[in-house]
Structure 1
Amino acid sequence: MANPPEAIVRRKLSDEIFDRLKALITSGELGPGDAMPSERELMERFGVGRPAIREALQALANNRLVTISHGERARVREVNARSIFEQVDLTAKMLLSTSPTSLEHLKQARRLFERAMVREAAARATEDDVARLAAVLDEQTRGAADPQTFISADMRFHREIAAISRNPLFEAVSEAMLGWLRKYHTEVLLWRGKENLTLVEHGQIIRHIAANEADDAEEMMARHLDRSSSLYTHTQS
């Protein structure tokens, strides 16, 4: 019996143009900051109308490959570790908002990640790194009475630990995970005395990092995250 014919799916013009414009970027022909050809130039180059060009450019913008400003030509964005996670940011937030289990998975992933990061920090932190951590802790201490200030400093503290790795991917992972978690942070943090416990734990983590005590730093980080895990909860609005 003969196999049924394979259907040929016709592609939209804008999809084909998207691929060609993307190739200009990925090949290096157009680099970060460069302006894309004008809409008229692209229309003449590909022999298509303005709607297909605009749709392709918007798809590039949606994929964070270019930026589009009103009245100006689209420009190629710089691709870096942070931009990788920006592309999945909306999808991750949608998943978390519809799945309490996914929030638990994220907290577990963060626990493993931060234990590794604090070990790395204890192995390679310089005096300047320790000073930056101490400065964030001072800011957090001063802002203990204000929830938003306190939480922002708390998350910056953990990002600074990841940054000590000197690996931009680790720093981007930390920033992404903390950003996804922030929506689920509850006011439990500000129960009387709880904010002081967070400050004490952060101070102990800094001391272990400064003393190159990787095992103690990891143990303290694990205890800190285990205690604070309940601060992130999935509530239905």
Structure 2
Amino acid sequence: MTQHATTGPWGSQPPERPGKRPPRRVRGAKLGTTVVEQLVDDIVRGALPPGTALPPEADLCEEFGVSRTVIRESVKVIQEKGLVRIEHGRGTQVTDPRQWNLLDDVVLTAVIAHDENVTFLDELVSVRTALEAEMAAAAALARTPDDEERIGAELAVMRANLASTPDFAAADVRFHDVIMAASRNRLGRAIVNSIHDKARTSMLYHGEYNEAVMRQTLAEHQAIKDAIAAGDPEGAAAAMRRHITDSWNRRRP
């Protein structure tokens, strides 16, 4: 009978074989931060699958070269992020991924890093599309002359930098941000900026920039700007939704 590898919740890597884990000494003032990041990474990539217990405190102390106090505080932090729960008689159990706080910076970074089949990035783009379309519609109704000037200025920077991918991309990000600012939706803007910043750390998210792609992106941004300037919320939402969706489809691995 063929044996199939067990996959982690976000990637295709099998969990590590149980047993004694090699030492991973950490140094510096932020020992707890390093322990938290490495344990979160272990859980997200499936080395510590849901339903299994964290190694005993003594083993973690030896593995990371830190005190029991550091380990206990680190486990509390991981529990607050929703990745583990402490059960009497069973130790500290890894939870189901549906219980994880995916908006937490450490968790989100790890999930994106191990999203080998880009299913999580698909979800992220879907959320971003919904929020930014809504904010584009709000911007069409709430924009001020200063907002319109800032939106136009970033579009002009993009147009002037078709020969410079980094400058074009930076202006692209700012274009979206000034529209979100014009919507006056502070929470939506904070959520999009948080998830988008983390997504851009993944090479799978970027895709390939070339002049044709940049000119298409510029045309899509122009349509968004025109709808907002016309005070057309439905048109602004549709243009934003079409741009984000088409842009992802162009660069999705």
Q: Same fold (TM over 0.5)?
A: yes
1:133 lines up with 2:151 in the alignment? yes
Distance 2:186 2:195 in 1: 14
1:88 lines up with 2:111 in the alignment? no
Structure 1 residue ranges (4+ consecutive) displaced by more than 6 angstroms after TM superposition = none
1:188 lines up with 2:208 in the alignment? yes
Distance 1:144 1:88 in 2: 35
Distance 1:213 1:230 in 2: 26
- Is this contact kept in 2: 1:119–1:214, CA < 8 A? yes
Distance 2:251 2:188 in 1: 22
CA-CA distance at 1:232 after TM superposition:
4.8
- Is this contact kept in 1: 2:140–2:232, CA < 8 A? yes
1:148 lines up with 2:166 in the alignment? yes
Deviations along 1:34-53, one digit per CA (max 9) or x if unpaired, are xxxxxxxxxxxxxxxxxx9x
Distance 2:130 2:226 in 1: 21
- Is this contact kept in 2: 1:158–1:174, CA < 8 A? no
Distance 2:206 2:160 in 1: 20
Matches within 5 A, 1:188-227: 188-190=208-210, 192-227=211-246
CA-CA distance at 1:233 after TM superposition:
3.8
Alignment match, 2:83: none
Greater CA deviation, 205-214 or 146-155?
Answer: 146-155
Distance 1:127 1:198 in 2: 24
CA-CA distance at 1:157 after TM superposition:
1.0
Larger helix share, 1 or 2? 1
CA-CA distance at 1:166 after TM superposition:
2.2
- Is this contact kept in 1: 2:140–2:230, CA < 8 A? yes
- Is this contact kept in 1: 2:121–2:205, CA < 8 A? no
CA-CA distance at 1:91 after TM superposition:
1.4
Alignment match, 1:230: 249
- Secondary structure of the 2:208 match is helix
Q: Higher Cα Rg: structure 1 or 2?
A: 1
Deviations along 1:152-202, one digit per CA (max 9) or x if unpaired, are 111111111111122322221121122122234434232x42211111111
Structure 1 residues 179 and 97 mapped into 2: Cα distance closer, same or farther (>3 Å)? same
Deviations along 1:8-41, one digit per CA (max 9) or x if unpaired, are xxxxxxxxxxxxxxxxxxxxxxxxxxxxxxxxxx
- Is this contact kept in 1: 2:151–2:175, CA < 8 A? yes
- Secondary structure of the 1:193 match is helix
CA-CA distance at 1:230 after TM superposition:
2.6
Structure 1 residues 89 and 233 mapped into 2: Cα distance closer, same or farther (>3 Å)? farther
Alignment match, 2:87: none
Distance 1:185 1:232 in 2: 7
**AA of the residue aligned to 2:236:** A
Distance 1:140 1:179 in 2: 19
